[in-house]
């Protein structure tokens, strides 16, 4: 059932939030043994909150626009009273003592946080295989990955365990799982959603994003979590912009990024992208091919930049103040820190931290880190330039559909290649939506990407709503079903 309908009916008293929650908890218990989307489920708390919502409605008090809607939150976003593991051993035992801003907003809107979902450790990965607590499986094919790093949230929504979920997107971590699991995944403009409470990995580009099964639900979810009337005082890099009305797809100029449908993209994915272009044309948009050659710099620049920032943002994990305890019997603090971090971090995280330290170190800072920032700047400039002429850009979300578990995990670079089409968006800071658009011949969902200029988040979601209303969005099927 869609979030929009649940909220609507609960607010009217037509539907009991407790009944709704009961049904979703049941679904979770049936799917979890197969897909392991959740790291933590708060059944008791969720039902209690649902009871409170029903109470409010009985008293004639409006619980909010997401009244009674269950939501899953990626386990790198702080929910007070729930563990915050980031799928890492180094944070085992840590329970967040505060709520992320987006979580406060969700609570105020009446949404009920059911639990925390699985991810690649500290959001570094594209398949959720780098979780220290075991991978999540794709509901469409349990031998395949759900994508990453927000694989748990994608799988939870795709399987129907929850109608909506939160994730984070640094290089495609919301859009990739959305595309691999056949749901919508939205990455907002950088700064438009408060980052306070998002565990930092690459703080200059990462954002909190959302998962849903319909574009309308995405609009609702986004309207709750965005900075709606002022920047968040808890996040001094946050911005707000008023709602922008979307004039409709007719006459809109859309650019299909040539570099994303060339070599490296699977034929069926390319085909789906062209079909998407056709759908847009049928809605009255003008679609042309456009080329941004420097997009080839995006992936290496992304990995350089984010590794450098990761080495800094993850320096704080030393077992002194929280998490896996720092041993007190080592020779000195350096040895103690090295021990707990050596044991607490997984191989991909260690790899990126070390590469990042290297890129920032004296003698290499100019050649590596500064060049990566310069490359980001260049890519941003070029995409914004193109977005002067085109109101939207499109392309596939990923060059492939979901790989099998274990397929790419031994070769880090091959894993990185999954992000080819999503990463330029993060470097440019622009909004992008992954829209489910059909299935491959092996039955796996394909996602296509709709991008626009900074702060045109409303346009992107509304454009998808328009396509959806016209029946032009090819869902793999509404949600994956068990049995």
Find the binding residues for other proteins in span 131-160 (CB under 8 A). none
Q: What is the 3-state secondary structure (H, E, C) of the chain?
A: CCHHHHHHHHHHCCCCHHHHHHHHHHHHHHHHHHHCCEEEECHHHHHHHHHHHHHHHHCCCCCCCCCCCEEEEECCECCCCCECCCCCHHHCCCECCCCCHHHHHHHHCCCEEEEEECCCHHHCCCCCCCCCCCCCCECCECCECCCCCCHHHHHHHHCCCCCEEEEEECCCCCHHHHHHHCCEEEECCCCCECCCCECCCCCCCCEEEEEECCHHHHHHHHHHHECCCCCCCCCCCCCCCCCCCCCCCCCCEEEEEHHHCCCCCCHHHHHHHHHHHHHHHHCCCEEEEECCHHHHHHHHHHHHHHHHHHHHHCCCCCCCCCCCCCCCCCCCHHHHHHHHHHHHCCHHHHHHHHHHHHHHCCCCCHHHHHHHHHHHHHHHHHHHHHHHHCCEEEEECCCCCCCECCCCCCCHHHHHHHHCCCHHHHHHCCCEEEEEEEECCCCCEEEEEEEECCCCHHHHHHHHHHHHHCCCCCCCCCCCCCC
Instruction: Say how far apart CA 420 and CA 249 lie, in whole Å.
Output: 27
Q: Scan residues 22-81 and list those touching other proteins (CB under 8 A).
A: 76-78
Segment interacting with other proteins, rule: CB under 8 A, options 143-151, 222-230, 278-286, 306-314: 306-314
Q: Contact letters (x/-) for other proteins, 176-205, by CB under 8 A?
A: --------------xx---xxxxxx--xxx
Considering beta carbons, is residue 253 or 380 the nearer one to other proteins? 380
Using the rule CB under 8 A, give the single segment among 50-58, 249-257, 329-337, 475-483 that binds other proteins: 329-337
From the CB of 144, what's the least distance to other proteins, in Å?
25
- Exactly one of 108, 134, 244, 315 binds other proteins (CB under 8 A); which one? 315
Smallest separation (angstroms) from other proteins to the CB of 97: 6
**What part of residues 342-401 is at the interface with other proteins (CB under 8 A)?**
342-343, 345, 350-351, 353-355, 357-362, 364-378, 380
Q: Which of residues 235-274 bind other proteins (CB under 8 A)?
A: 235-237, 239
Among 321, 388, 441, 471, binds other proteins (CB under 8 A): 321
Kindly state the smallest distance separating residue 341's Cβ from other proteins, in Å: 5
Number of residues that bind other proteins (CB under 8 A): 98
Q: Of 96, 104, 127, 149, which is the active-site residue? A: 149
Rule CB under 8 A: choose which of 223, 231, 286, 468 binds other proteins: 231
Q: Which is nearer to other proteins, 371 or 478 (CB)?
A: 371
What is the closest distance, in whole angstroms, from the C-beta atom of residue 27 to other proteins in the complex?
29
- Give the one residue of 243, 262, 267, 325 binding other proteins; rule: CB under 8 A: 325
CB of 10 to other proteins, least distance (A): 30
173 among known catalytic residues: yes
Closest CA to 419 of 241, 238, 193, 169: 169
Using CB under 8 A, which of 304, 432, 433, 464 touches other proteins? Answer: 304
149 is catalytic: yes
Question: How many whole angstroms from its chain centre is CA 140?
Answer: 19
Q: How far is the CB of 379 from other proteins (least distance, A)?
A: 11
Binding mask 86-105 for other proteins (x = CB under 8 A): x----x-xxxxxx-x-----
**Which of 121, 474 has the CB closer to other proteins?**
121
Quote the least distance from Cβ 88 to other proteins, whole Å: 10
Q: Which of 74, 105, 187, 216 is catalytic?
A: 74
| Per annotation, catalytic residue among 96, 150, 173, 440 | 173
- Binding positions for other proteins, 394-453, rule CB under 8 A: 412-413, 416, 429
Name the residues annotated as catalytic: 74, 149, 173
């Amino acid at each position: 059932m869609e979030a929009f309908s649940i909220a609507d009916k609960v607010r009217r008293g037509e539907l009991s939030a407790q009944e709704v929650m009961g049904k979703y908890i049941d679904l979770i218990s049936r799917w979890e043994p197969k897909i392991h989307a959740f790291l933590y489920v708060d059944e008791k708390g969720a039902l209690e909150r649902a009871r409170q919502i029903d109470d409010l409605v009985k008293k004639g008090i409006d619980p909010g626009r997401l009244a009674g809607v269950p939501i899953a939150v990626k386990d790198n976003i702080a929910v007070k009273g729930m563990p915050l593991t980031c799928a890492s051993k180094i944070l085992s035992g840590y329970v967040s003592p505060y709520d992320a801003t987006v979580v406060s907003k969700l609570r105020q809107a009446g949404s009920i946080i059911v639990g925390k979902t699985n991810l690649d450790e500290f959001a570094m990965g594209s398949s959720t295989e780098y979780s220290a607590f075991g991978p999540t499986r794709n509901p469409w094919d349990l031998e395949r990955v759900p994508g990453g790093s927000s694989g748990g949230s994608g799988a939870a929504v795709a399987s129907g365990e929850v109608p909506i979920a939160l994730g984070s997107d640094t290089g495609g971590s919301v859009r990739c799982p959305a595309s691999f699991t056949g749901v919508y995944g939205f990455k907002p403009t950088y700064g438009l959603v408060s980052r306070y409470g998002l565990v930092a990995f690459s703080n200059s580009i990462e954002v909190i994003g959302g998962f849903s099964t319909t574009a309308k639900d995405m609009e609702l979810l986004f309207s709750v979590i965005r900075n709606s009337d002022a920047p968040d005082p808890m996040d001094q890099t946050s911005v707000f912009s008023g709602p922008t009305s979307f004039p409709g797809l007719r006459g809109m100029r859309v650019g299909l990024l040539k570099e994303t449908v060339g070599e490296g993209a699977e034929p069926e994915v390319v085909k789906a992208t062209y079909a998407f272009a056709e759908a847009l044309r049928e809605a009255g948009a003008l679609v042309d091919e456009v080329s941004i050659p420097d997009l080839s710099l995006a992936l290496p620049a992304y990995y350089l930049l984010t590794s450098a920032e990761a080495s800094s943002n993850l320096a704080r994990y030393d077992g002194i103040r929280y998490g896996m305890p720092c041993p007190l019997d080592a020779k000195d603090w350096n040895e103690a820190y090295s021990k707990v971090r050596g044991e607490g971090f997984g191989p991909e995280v260690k790899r990126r931290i070390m590469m990042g330290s290297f890129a920032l170190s004296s003698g290499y800072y100019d050649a590596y880190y500064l060049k990566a920032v310069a490359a980001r700047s260049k890519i941003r400039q070029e995409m914004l330039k193109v977005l002067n002429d085109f109101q939207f850009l499109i392309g596939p979300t990923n060059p492939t559909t979901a790989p099998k578990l274990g397929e790419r995990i031994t070769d880090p670079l091959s894993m990185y290649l999954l992000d080819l089409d999503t990463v330029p968006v993060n470097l440019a800071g622009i909004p992008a939506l992954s829209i489910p658009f059909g299935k491959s011949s092996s039955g796996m969902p394909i996602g296509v990407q709709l991008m626009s200029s900074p702060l045109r988040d409303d346009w992107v979601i509304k454009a998808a709503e328009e396509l959806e209303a016209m029946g032009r969005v090819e869902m793999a099927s509404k949600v994956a079903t068990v049995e």
